[in-house]
Amino acid sequence: MTDALAAARRLAPRFAARAAGYDAGGAFPVDDFADLRQAGLFGLMVPERLGGTGAGFADYAAVAYELARGNGATALVFNMHASVTGALAGIPDTLIEALGVPESFLTARDRVLSAVADGAWYAVAMSERGVGSRLSQLSTMYTAERDGFHIKGSKTFVSGAGHADAYLVAARSAADPTLVSQFLVPADADGVTVEPTWDALGMRATSSHDLHLDVSVPADALLGGVEGLALLVAQLMPHWMVASYAAVYVGVAQAAVDAAVDHLTERRLAHLPAARARIGRADAAVAAARLVVDEAARRVDAAPGEPETNRWVWRAKLLAGTTAADVAASMLEAAGTSATRRGSALERLYRDARCGSLQPATSDVCADWLGVAALGGDPEAEGTGPRW
């Protein structure tokens, strides 16, 4: 793990140097991912017995923070891969036993994770337009075929689309629409097409395009070998994604402070009281958000899914999102007009930083859930707000 963190720190400046280029054209950070593969970071969450680093969530959050100081978009895509592999690796054996998950699931899982240790990486194809990531309302359906399954439907916000080795696709059974299953679909399979729809304010280099599927997959593409297990992974992934988004946005916020410090120092404006006050308050806010993310990550490792853990995850998401947006806006104001030129790190960071609060669970939703929980209610209950 020490090696992984060191690698992330070593790579961050390289990512930073390339970030403006990828951002400008909305191009996927191909070289960053080559670096990640070479550094062995794809296997970060894979158990050591399968050739990976065997990192825990807190380890991951530390890596994500460092990568995001280089390029938040790269860190976000990496985050999806880490979430998939981390969720798979983290399913407790006791849970598998309790649920009566067949032995085949474990074998399949290990195969998937071993491939990662060998240099593969996965993207997540879950959200759909108008549905978001509510599994029970997916319109992507699958049917059983002689040697496997056929999947048909369209996905959106697929970060890394066109570059991942395979997609983790969620779909419902045409035969029994209450069954939601997940399939690992190779990126080069016939009938997998990427529609380049991603052209957004920030995090432009994530290539979060649409994915169209009309594809046949062999039987062992079904994750776990048994239909209807999607919730197993899906229920583990949200805190993963939420908390790991948070780490990314704290890294982005710190990068904004660093960029403003550089900008003011170069222009010999470090004496301006208003700029100093902005930097000082930003410094404190980012430090606080980082501690909250670390605390949430520690608790995800120690007591995943427990109510108090979830509260820390929501706190982390809320504070990371709002801190990143507020800090980047203030840093731009400290640095002045010259920092708004494209190519300036702050110009990009200002756009990237705005996205954190908007990613699910949004800041407003996190605030509501935290309020409900503090008031003794159950945010998981029906009717209290938008859900996954």
Would you tell me which residues interact with a second copy (CB under 8 A)?
Answer: 157, 199-202, 257, 261, 264-265, 270, 272-281, 283-285, 287-289, 291-292, 295, 311-312, 314-315, 318-319, 325, 329, 332-333, 336-337, 340-343, 347, 350-351, 354-355, 357-359, 362-377
Nearer to a second copy, 195 or 283 (CB): 283
Scanning the structure block, which residue is given the tokens 């065997």? 54
188 vs 199 by CB, closer to a second copy: 199
Minimum Å distance from CB 61 to a second copy?
14
How many CB atoms are located within 10 Å of the residue 178 CB?
A: 8
CB 340 → a second copy: shortest distance, Å?
4
- Whether the link from the prior residue into 58 is cis, omega within 30° of 0, is no
Closer residue to a second copy in complex, CB, 184/264: 264
Closest distance to a second copy from the beta carbon of 345 (Å):
12
Tell me the CA end-to-end span of the chain in Å, nearest whole number: 31
- What is the rounded CA–CA span in Å between residue 285 and residue 350? 16
Total count of residues recorded for the chain: 388
What is the closest distance, in whole angstroms, from the C-beta atom of residue 207 to a second copy in the complex? Answer: 14
The residue among 340, 157, 346, 317 whose CA lies nearest residue 250 is: 317
Round to whole Å and give the CA distance between 384 and 377: 9
Residue 318 CB, nearest approach to a second copy (Å): 5
301 versus 368: smaller Cβ distance to a second copy: 368
CB 170 within 8 A of CB 221: no
* Phi then psi dihedrals of residue 228, to 5 deg: 85, 10
Closest separation between CB of residue 294 and a second copy, Å? Answer: 8
Return the SS3 of 52.
Answer: coil
CB of 151 or CB of 264, closer to a second copy:
264
Using the 8-state DSSP alphabet, how is residue 343 labeled?
T
User: Least CB distance from residue 187 to a second copy, whole Å?
Assistant: 24
Comparison of 23 and 66: residue with beta carbon closer to a second copy: 23
Q: Do the beta carbons of residue 5 and residue 12 sit within 8 Å?
A: no
What is the token pair recorded at 219? 């039987």
For 244-277, letters b (16+ CB in 10 Å) and e give bbbbbbbbbbbbbbbbbbebbeeeeeeeeeebee
Q: Smallest gap, in angstroms, from Cβ of residue 317 to a second copy?
A: 9
